[in-house]
Amino acid sequence: MRKWGRYSDFMLDFDAHYEALRRRDATADGLVFVAVKTTGVYCRPVCPARTPLARNVVFYRSAAAAEHAGFRPCLRCRPETAPFCPAWKGTRTTVERALSLIEDGELDRGSVESLAERLGVGPRHLARLFARHLDASPLQVAQSRRVQRAKRLLDAGDLPIAAVAERSGFSSARRMSTAFTRLYGRPPSAFRRKAAVLPIGTR
């Protein structure tokens, strides 16, 4: 079984992606996300669900890109728990620094322009880097991370919805509710641990 040592080895090869999916290759986890056109769900390559037919599959380089294309996260393999962009870990690149700042909430407090200024690049150049390496914009990545943080908080405790929204980086509970409804088709309250058991996300 081939091991994917470099992101560039893997990012544009459909056959390699599909083979990794078929094998449940853990070394591809976080490098690629698989979306299934017939279900509208996207997963990690290690998802235990039945492997879909190749003609029904689309691969994305980030969870944010899959969500921007209209796919919702699988409730079985939880793509939000995939390694966050491991292609950039341990490297000193503009993209890695930007991702770290976004993870720390930089775009919850400021703008893409201020993020780019901190990185010493222009906002257009930063947008081009994200499009090239992640197929998503900085704002799309930030929104994906907010939803994922909120989902973990909802699952872990009984914080009021407004407090979850604030801690997750949303400007209001209403914006958080809109983001969840758009992505999952259900409100944040449906993800409470004590709520009714959610159906398993399948392909």
- Point out the catalytic residue in the list 77, 102, 161, 176: 77
- Point out the catalytic residue in the list 31, 34, 43, 119: 43
pLDDT in tens, the chain (203 residues): 444 444 444 455 888 899 999 999 888 888 889 999 999 999 999 998 899 999 999 999 888 889 989 999 998 888 877 765 444 443 347 888 898 899 888 999 899 999 999 888 889 988 988 888 888 899 999 999 999 899 989 988 788 999 999 999 999 999 999 999 998 889 998 888 655 444 444 44
Q: Beta strand 72-73 with 41-43: parallel, antiparallel or unpaired?
A: parallel
Asked if 133 and 147 count as a contact pair (C-beta separation under 8 A), the reply is no
Residue 74 a catalytic site member: yes
Residue 85 a catalytic site member: no
- Point out the catalytic residue in the list 11, 32, 35, 47: 47
pLDDT at 120: 83
Asked if 110 and 120 count as a contact pair (C-beta separation under 8 A), the reply is no
Domains of the chain plus CATH, in order, are 7-81 (3.40.10.10)
- Point out the catalytic residue in the list 35, 57, 64, 74: 74
Handedness of CA 167, 170, 173, 176 (dihedral sign): negative
Of the candidates 193, 168, 197, 163, the residue with the CA atom closest to the CA atom of residue 180: 168
Residue 47 a catalytic site member: yes
| pTM to 2 decimal places | 0.66
